[in-house]
Every structure is written in structure tokens, then in C-alpha cells.
Structure 1
Amino acid sequence: MAKLSATAAFWGLLIGSSVVASSEVMAQEVLQVQASSRQAETEVAEWFEANRDRPTLLRAFVQRMPKGGDIHSHLSGAVYAERYIQWAAADGYCIDPAGPDLVEPSACNQDSSYFPAAQLYGRPATYDALVNLWSTRNLPFANQSGHDQFFEAFGGFDAISSSLTRQDDMVAEVANRAASQHISYLELLMTVKGSEARQLGRTVGWNSNFAQMRQRLLDEGLMDLVAQGSQDMAALEREVDKTLGCETPRPQPGCEVTVRYLQQTTRTRLPEEVFAQFVYAFELAKADSRVVGINLVAPEDNPVALRDYSLHMEMLGFLKAQFPEVNISLHAGELTLGLVPPDDLRFHIRQAVEVAQASRIGHGVAILYENEPFQLLEEMRRRGVLVEICLTSNEVILNVEGDEHPFLDYRAAGVPMTLASDDEGIARIDLSNEYGLAAQRYNLGYRDLKQLARNSLEYSFLTGDSLWASPEFNQLSLPCADDVPGSATTSAGCAGFLAGSDRARTQWQLEAEFAEFESLSSFRFR
């Protein structure tokens, strides 16, 4: 899989480009390319407006459009049910037809009614039932809310998704799908050594003095777990490369996608378990460059998650003060009126921003229920706190869509946003679908979609300086101010700058991809 590093070979960075010494030649070419780029962008934007009422054409457009990154994607939920069934058949699992439920290979002989998962291909009714149970497909016939169907789906395939033997296949699956949609960067949420961290928390026991409890965890061997977790990440990276064939003459498309990880903490556990997971996550992110940040998972409306929400934010605030370099993105405000009492809608996003010091918020649907919501929106704008918008997920889980969704409120307040898939396998979507929904529901133009894509990298947890001089994306940073991504030449100063910044280099790649996309005649003259 393609890796970004500050030590990337200089010429390897600038494929198709050459470094020129003549500033006069460079300036002339830059002016020509800039003029051509503006014209191409205008023509694509005009095509988009002329065809925005054609859903089939819009889908083709957003499928091909470069989208930068998907920075809110749960690895286990991103895999489609059909793939889990394929792996179940290959790995010797069985099916309990009464559920139907997945049965681990070691238990296949416990009941004579169980049959091998490989036989599902000859039993389409049971096959379809499993797909429906492991996703939100045919939701109207699920006999329960989208919220319950969504969160219960994870349990159906947990035996496979939590097994180390298929993690490389899971990452490869998601990376290949990303490549097919012209997504170049993924931040995948996953849990490494989570059960071990929770067990350590139970061993140490609860102590409301965070500093003392953290020290106890360290004394009881937490750093040994961190070392093991880092080894697991290195092994996963090697296995993903092998699965994708990245070092072979015929690498799969996912090799071109850069993958980083967010370590998850389960918010529905005992306080001592949650705190231990947090301490472990911070230490792992500090120790392993593949882990670029941390997040919270599990339903925000779970009774334990509601009861301990403020305590969790205080834990994070304490640890962020110890490790300011560790990035935090939090699921917050994934709630709506009726799901929880009104009092639980009034402070979650604010505490995530102000107490936990999160630099990104996942979902943020309940923002207008918060106390002093407009002041909070302004604070988020001023701090540059990005909101990861998951339109389909919010529709399925919360029954919030269209004008009931705060998308336009965030936009009016100037709060940065990007689109994310959340759990594309369970929701039966992809990131391209989210771009199409946003365009249709909120009358977004092509340039608006470009900004959402650019935001995914600008506010990603990649290391290094930004390619852009401002969040408006109207001026490149000084080393590249006189360069044009996608042009035939690159100045030595810009090339050196890109060599030292993973973020800028990925952004440069996105701009070059936009230039290529906008040159396609099919989206200008159809």
C-alpha cells in the first residue's frame, strides 16, 4: 500500500514533473496553466449545473470526482455483509438456521441443525436473511428502528470482524473500494488490544484522581500492551501489503490509497475500563505513526454512555493536557429529540470541544439543541473544529434528513465540514453516494463539493504543514505559491516543501487529480 513519509524519494514524489531552474520559464508556464485550469473548472461547474437534476449522471460524476479522504469510517462496519459471508464460508464457520446466526468453527458440531456457511450459496433465503440482519438493507421489513437495526448488525459478524485473521482482508476491501471512487486517503476507526486494556483497567480499579490512576496503569504494564499494539499495527500493515500485492508486478488499486488509523475506545464500559482504554489509546498514538488519533465508539444514547458522558470528557481533557500532540475526533451530538431526554441534547458537543479539546466532531446532529448553539457554532468556526457529516447514517439511525439536518446551519456559520461514509457496508452506500446526496439535498455546486473534499485532507490527522495558505483554498503556501499542481514542472522550493509534509503532499496529489478530472471532455461537452 502506498505510504507517505518525509523520506520519500524526491523524484518519486513528482511523477510526471520536472524541476526547472529558470524562474522566467516557470512564471510563464504557471500563468498559462492557471488560466487553463480556471476555464476547465468553470466548464465542469457549468456541466454540473446543467445536469444536477439527472440522478444517473450525477452519480457518474461524483463517482469519478476526486474526493481526497474519508476520515470517518469504521473498519468493521465498512465491510459489506456479502464479504463476511464469503469469509465465513472459506474459514469453516457454520450457520444456525434458527437465527439465522453465525457459528464459530469450534462449535459447529454442537447442534445437528447447523450447516456449513459454504452451503449458503445454495440457500438464498437464509443468505438474504443474513445480509439483511448484518446491514440496513430492506430496513422497512426489519421490524425495528433503523437505530436498533444498525447497531445490532455489528454483533452478527463480530466473530469474523474481531478476528486478527481477516483484518488485512478488511482493510484491503475498503482500500480497493476507496480507490475505485478516487479517494486517496483513509482514516479507519478500529480497536487494537481493546479487551486487554479494559482488563488492565479492571485490575487496577477505579480512582477519580486521573494522575494517580494513569500511573497505576503504567506501573501494571500498560506500556507492554502499547508495544504489543504497535507490533500488531506493523504486522497488519505488512499483511495488507501482501493481500493487495503491493510489491508485485500487478498491485491492486488499494495500494495507491494511504491508510491511517484511529484507535477506538468503547464508551459503554465501567469508568476504570474507559479510562484505561483512553490512556492506552493516547500512548499508542504517541508511539506509532500509523495511529494518528483517537475516537469514542458505541451508541451515544446508551444509558452508561449518557450517565458518564461528562466524566469521559474530563478524562480526555486531562490526557490531552498531558499529550497535546495526540489528535482527538469524537462522536458527539449523534442524537435527536425523542431518542434521549432534552437535557442530554444540550451539552455533548460543547463538552467535546471545550473540555475534551476535540479538533473534529463526528455527526454533530444535535448542535441546535445545545445551550447557546450560535455561540458554540462561532466558537467551532473560530477554532477550526471540523464536523464529519454522515448523511445516510444520520437518516438511518436518527431519522434526520433534509432540512431537519444541521448541514446548512453549519455551512451558514462557516464551520468547516467534510462528508464521510461512517459504516458504508452496514448502510449499503459508499462515499460517492454521500457527495451525491449533499449536492441534491443542499443545492451544492461543483466548487462546493471540491471544498468538502479539500477539507477532508486539510483537517485530516496527517502530519506536516498544509499546502494551503488559508482555509479558503485560494492561495498555495509560500514554497508552492508560484506552482500549479498537475503542471509539467515544479520548482525546487515546492518540491522540497512537499518532501517534508505528508499533508501537503497528499493535498498536492488531490489538486493534480482535480486538474486531470476537469480535463475530461465527458464532463464538459456531453
Structure 2
Amino acid sequence: MRRRAALSLFLGVLTSSSCFIFSGAAQVPSTSQQSSIGSEAQAASWFEAHRAQPAALRAFVQRMPKGGDIHTHLSGAVYAEHYLEWAATDGYCVNPKAGALVEPKACGQDINYFPASELLNKPTSFYDSLINRWSTRNLQFAGKSGHDQFFDAFAGFGTISDSASRRDDMVASVANRAASQHINYLELMLTVQGSEVRQLGREVGWNKDFQQMHHQLLKRGLSKLVTLGSQQFAQLEREVSKTLGCDTPSAQPGCGVTVRYLQQTTRTKSPVEVFAQLAYAFALDSSQERVVGINLVAPEDNPIALRDYTLQMQMLQFFKRQYPDVKVALHAGELTLGLVPTEDLRFHIRQAVELAQASRIGHGVDILFEERPFELMEQMRRLGVLVEICLTSNEVILNIQGDEHPFWEYWKAGVPMTLASDDEGISRIDLSHEYLLAATRYGLGYKDLKRLARNSLEYSFAPGNSLWKSPDFKAMVPPCASDTPSAASVSQGCSAFLQKSDRARIQWQLESEFARFESLQNWL
């Protein structure tokens, strides 16, 4: 209780007046703004009155606008049930022993394989075992650690998720779920042309001279692969729009969600393959507007990832010099004591910030094991390096939760933070669940959750200028300072500003949704 009281006092000072929207040079809120502040206070009061009722808080955060989910892997965000549905339709078979799908052309290789379309006619134990293997559901009966269960799950449905044939359905599924949670922006991590780029890297061969190796990749056809990749993203956008029925009378909710992508690089490959993937990712980001950043993926504790960590950060440093406008988000510090030797806990986040110039850090769980951690957090605060907090993922994979998690230390240090889902499908959660955990575990109130939601867009990689003069969210930029998001019309100057900036447009949408949400009389 003393910890919660201290947190509430600290957050109250930190976030007081955070949603005042000033008009021009005015020093006092307008009547409409005062009304908005009053509505926010009522929502916050309701939240506190129901704090002892987790089910009521769940209903509240389900309806609460959450801005964006900016740390989510497309393949892991899809629920296993959807993969099984598509497998049945597309003629896949099931290998019941491995808990994996078998491509249609290989269905006759083993008499124990059976068509996925017959799965519902089998004993339910078959269906349930596949769901359990492809997720962390019933983890206590998995016979392995949460870490291993989580990362092994990808192999089960990889036959479909690694193919482009159902990629539009995957995006549509995740976008519809986002819309149901009042999320209006997604940055989805996925890999396009990964095998082709890695093959090109192997053909070029390793060279410690990054400049020379990059030249050879370009000479041997990297630009052609980038062009093909850009075309695939453009085609994916068209297919997702068609799948969702956008611009038709039967448009699905996901049409209202802005979807952007981060090109993944697999960190567990050989140095030349990682270098080639990064060269491709940076060039793709520069040529395809729907790709807004890059990331490294795969277990950070993998032996190759540990061996080559500094080398990979140096590669990123090299490419940031070639492409300074490309945004970098990195999984860094997704480690804990006992998982790796202690020396591997002491530098990953720092190198991600200082060498790779990452704008965002995913997880960052081992921050307090870093050399001079509080100095590093101050540096992150000053540079505006956001931490993507994935509470359920950290609990399942690293067995870190509650006071063992550095959530409180990041917040006290003023490091920008937001909540993210990581892999909704594998973890069997949604982003609303993460907001509920933040409220119940760390005593956050409505205004604090609101700040985390705003951060998700302020630190997103959506192009364009911010709607806000500064990340404290006290005042909008001059063109929109006199406008109210919930109003029926927008001034000409503000409208022109919003049309030029994707970031400001989705931020304006979030503020409009906050106004509607806070005007409710009952949040159940």
C-alpha cells in the first residue's frame, strides 16, 4: 500500500495537467477544454472507485482508446485457431506426433498424417494438443519452460506463417482484433524475402570491410530484391484491403486501423547473412512507405546471437550512417539472471542505444544488470529512447513479473514507455490485458494509462510531425492549438497540418476517441 501511495503521488506530479490543450497564447483552458478535463477526471474517478474489481477494470480498458501496438510480431499475433482454419481450407495435413502442419504436397509421406479438414472429426484431444503446442496455453502441462514453449511454438504453424499465401488473412485478423480493442495503429514485424536475401549474402561471402561487402551485395542484385520486396508490400496492402472489404458496404473493423510494417532481420544467422538482411532492410525502408523501420528478432540468448551481438550492433551503426533517416527498434535486454552468463547482461541495451542508435528498445528487462544502469536510463530519457514494455511476454519467457520487472525504475527515471503485446496469439492475450496488468500490478491510474497510450503514437515510426509541441502532451502544435478533437469541424490550418502528417493524423484520431470515451457515464 505504501508503494502504491508513493507511485500515485509520483505519477500525479508527473502527469498533472497533462491533457490541457492550449489555444494560441492563452494561459487558461477554454470552456470546451475545461469540459474535457472534467470528463477525464470523471473517468479517472470511476477507475479508482473500481480498482478492487479486476473484471470491471478489464471492461474499462477494453473500451479505452489505446493508440498503437508498436511491438507485435505478425506470425505470433495470430491465434492458433486461425492457422488451423486456414490449414483445413488449403489442403494441409497434420503431423500429430510433431504437432505441426504438413504441406499438401507432402501429405502422403506418412500414414499417420491426416487432413487438417478432418481435425474437428477427431477426438478433441488432437485439436487441443495442437493449440497447446502452438501457444503457451496450459503452460503448466507443457513439460518445458515458458521460454522454450514460447519460441518452439513458431515451428508448429511456420508452414503457413512463413508463406505469403495467407499473409493478408494474418494482417486482417490482427487488425480486426486491434479495432475491437480501440487500437488505431499497428506496427507489425514480419520478414519479406528473408531466404532470398540470406542466399545472396552467402554468395557474396563474409568480408570484415562493411563498405566493400555492401558494395558487392549491391553489385550482385540487392537492389532488385529491394524492388521486389517493395512490390510485395504494395501487393500485401491491396490484398489486406480486399480481404477486409475496405471501401465497401461490408467493410470490416480492421479497415479503420492504420497498419505499418517493420522489416525483420533474424539475428541467429551467420554474420554475412545478418549483414545482407540488414542491407536489404535499410534499403527497403528507404524505398517503401509502408515499411517504417527495422528490427532484429529471434531469441537474444541464442548462442549465435550472444556471440555476434556487438558485431551486429556495429553493422547497424554502419547502416545508420548510410541511411540516417531509417528508424531502428531493437529487441535488447530480453534476458535475465541465470538465462545467460552475467557478462552478457551488462551491455546489450547500452550498445543498442549508443552503437545502433535505436529509437526504441523492446523489453529492456535486464537494464539494472547493465553497467551504470541509472546513467543509461538518464541517457535514454534525454535522447527520447522509448521502452516497449511487454509484461505477459516477460513473465512467460523470463519468469519476470511484479517488483522483479524494471517497470517502476524506468518510470521513476522518466524513460518514455508504452505497453505492447509482443505475440498475442502465442501468449493467448490482447493489448487490453497488458493495460490491466499495468494498472493492477503497478497501481497505475487512468491518466497514467492514457499517457502510455499517447506514447505509443508519439514514439511510433509513423512519418510526419507530431500533433504535440512536446512529449509531455500539454499543448498541441500552433496550427491545431485552437481546435478541439471532439468538435464537428476542424480549422483550415489544422486540417492542412493533419493532411501532411500521418503521425499527427492518427494522434488526432486518438484524441477524438479519448473525448468520446470520457464522455461516457458508465464504462462497463
The whole-number CA distance in structure 1 between the counterparts of 2:430 and 2:480 is: 33
The whole-number CA distance in structure 1 between the counterparts of 2:99 and 2:369 is: 40
Q: Which residue of 1 aligns with 2:246?
A: 246
Q: Which residue of 1 aligns with 2:298?
A: 298
8 Å CA contact 1:30–1:484 kept in 2: the answer is no
Seq. identity, %? 68
The whole-number CA distance in structure 2 between the counterparts of 1:492 and 1:98 is: 63
Secondary structure of residue in 1 paired with 2:151: helix
Cα shift at 1:111: 1.6
- Superposed CA deviations along residues 228-272 of structure 1, whole A, max 9, x for unmatched, are 001100111111011000022110000000000000000000000
Q: Which residue of 1 aligns with 2:35?
A: 36
The whole-number CA distance in structure 2 between the counterparts of 1:474 and 1:462 is: 21
The whole-number CA distance in structure 2 between the counterparts of 1:99 and 1:227 is: 37
The whole-number CA distance in structure 2 between the counterparts of 1:360 and 1:109 is: 47
- Superposed CA deviations along residues 449-473 of structure 1, whole A, max 9, x for unmatched, are 0000000000000111111111111
Unaligned ranges ≥5, structure 2: 1-22
- Superposed CA deviations along residues 281-315 of structure 1, whole A, max 9, x for unmatched, are 00000000000000000000000000000000000
Cα shift at 1:489: 3.4
The whole-number CA distance in structure 1 between the counterparts of 2:73 and 2:97 is: 29
Alignment of 1:333-372 (within 5 A): 333-372=333-372
8 Å CA contact 1:190–1:263 kept in 2: the answer is yes
Q: Which residue of 2 aligns with 1:94?
A: 93
Q: Which residue of 2 aligns with 1:279?
A: 279
Amino acid in structure 2 at the alignment position of 1:69: G
Q: Which residue of 2 aligns with 1:139?
A: 139
The whole-number CA distance in structure 2 between the counterparts of 1:52 and 1:104 is: 49
The whole-number CA distance in structure 2 between the counterparts of 1:130 and 1:271 is: 35
Cα shift at 1:30: 7.6
Amino acid in structure 2 at the alignment position of 1:72: H
Q: Which residue of 2 aligns with 1:192?
A: 192
Amino acid in structure 2 at the alignment position of 1:234: A
Secondary structure of residue in 1 paired with 2:262: strand
Q: TM-score, normalised by structure 1?
A: 0.94
- Is 2:104 the partner of 1:105? yes
Amino acid in structure 2 at the alignment position of 1:119: E
- Is 2:452 the partner of 1:452? yes
Amino acid in structure 1 at the alignment position of 2:113: Y
Q: Which residue of 2 aligns with 1:117?
A: 116
Secondary structure of residue in 2 paired with 1:437: helix
8 Å CA contact 2:424–2:430 kept in 1: the answer is yes
- Is 2:441 the partner of 1:470? no
- Is 2:45 the partner of 1:46? yes
Alignment of 1:396-475 (within 5 A): 396-475=396-475
Moved over 3 A (4+): none
8 Å CA contact 2:84–2:116 kept in 1: the answer is yes
Q: Which residue of 2 aligns with 1:323?
A: 323
Q: Which residue of 2 aligns with 1:168?
A: 168
Aligned residues: CA RMSD: 1.3
Secondary structure of residue in 2 paired with 1:522: coil
Q: Which residue of 1 aligns with 2:81?
A: 82
The whole-number CA distance in structure 2 between the counterparts of 1:170 and 1:389 is: 23
The whole-number CA distance in structure 1 between the counterparts of 2:375 and 2:29 is: 42
Cα shift at 1:496: 1.4
8 Å CA contact 2:100–2:155 kept in 1: the answer is no
8 Å CA contact 2:99–2:156 kept in 1: the answer is no
8 Å CA contact 1:33–1:487 kept in 2: the answer is no
Cα shift at 1:484: 1.4
Secondary structure of residue in 2 paired with 1:356: coil
The whole-number CA distance in structure 2 between the counterparts of 1:76 and 1:237 is: 17
Amino acid in structure 2 at the alignment position of 1:48: F
Secondary structure of residue in 1 paired with 2:186: strand
> Which stretch shifts more, 79-88 or 106-115?
106-115
Amino acid in structure 1 at the alignment position of 2:213: M
Cα shift at 1:101: 2.7
Q: Which residue of 2 aligns with 1:5?
A: none
